[in-house]
Structure 1
Amino acid sequence: MRSTFPKEEKLKHQKQIQEVFAKGSSVTVFPLKLLYLKWERGDSNFKAGFSVPKRNFKSAVERNRLKRLLREAYRLNKHGIFNKTEGNYALMFLYLGKELPSFPDVERNMRSVLSKFLSREANEKADS
């Protein structure tokens, strides 16, 4: 599997993002929150979006840097969820912290939130 983040895997449409916020479930490992929604449509198994609130980071430079860090951490660790889940998911990552973290911290939090997502999905699959 190639560890890239192609256009087909990006969650971009406003209606899809609103649907994830309205109907999705969430997993939180501070300072990251993952909203996810299983859906039937889509050409790719996962579509991911990233958001950093303007309330916590007034400077666009800081918000964009943090989104780049989140995308890179996701790109490097997405192989773990691609190989262990079935179905299509829309993922929305929110950064809840108030301070600009280093990349190792972001990557560690990304691994934690993705593993928590996998365990929650395994539990839901076992229940049904």
Structure 2
Amino acid sequence: MSAKALTLTAEERISSRILIEKLFDGGNSRSMTAYPVRLVYLQTDRQPGDVAAKILVSAPKRNLRHAVDRNRVKRQMREAYRKNKHLILEKLDANSGMALAFIWLEKQPFRSSEVEQRIINLLERVSEKL
């Protein structure tokens, strides 16, 4: 695994409103939960030069009232994905891509090691379905 593989670049973040709507409209998207993280994912067609997987991370204000807690949880989820994204990237072929949305469900933050275990669990379960 190269050093570049362990980064999380801006291109790997979902910024397209159209893609976000496709992801959450139901339709072809699927979801699974490893409490306290819910994963909504959608298989997409990949264009040449595009990244294989794009992510979105959300911690609703309804669950975590303090911005400090929301930012910490989002940082933990991004870091866990960054370190373990190889679990899903090695299963994708050259023409298929993936859009992933990680959503925090609990009303309090967890330890980073617990968050990472939950993210690994979700990524392994998604990679089995590919």
Separation (CA, whole Å) in 2 of partners of 1:29 and 1:70: 12
The equivalent residue for 2:31 is 26
What RMSD over aligned residues (CA atoms) do the two structures have, in Å? Answer: 1.3
Separation (CA, whole Å) in 1 of partners of 2:8 and 2:36: 22
TM-score, structure 2 as length reference: 0.87
Structure 2: which 5+ runs fail to align?
Answer: none
Runs of 4+ in structure 1 off by over 2 angstroms are none
Which letter maps to 2:45?
Answer: E
The equivalent residue for 1:115 is 124
Which letter maps to 1:26?
Answer: S
TM-score, structure 1 as length reference: 0.88
Separation (CA, whole Å) in 1 of partners of 2:39 and 2:46: 20
The equivalent residue for 1:6 is 9
Separation (CA, whole Å) in 2 of partners of 1:59 and 1:99: 10
- Please state which structure has a larger fraction of its residues in helix: 1
Separation (CA, whole Å) in 1 of partners of 2:79 and 2:92: 21
Structure 1: which 5+ runs fail to align?
Answer: 122-128
Which letter maps to 2:43?
Answer: K
Identity %: 36
The answer to whether the aligner puts 1:79 opposite 2:86 as a matched pair is yes
Number of aligned residue pairs: 121
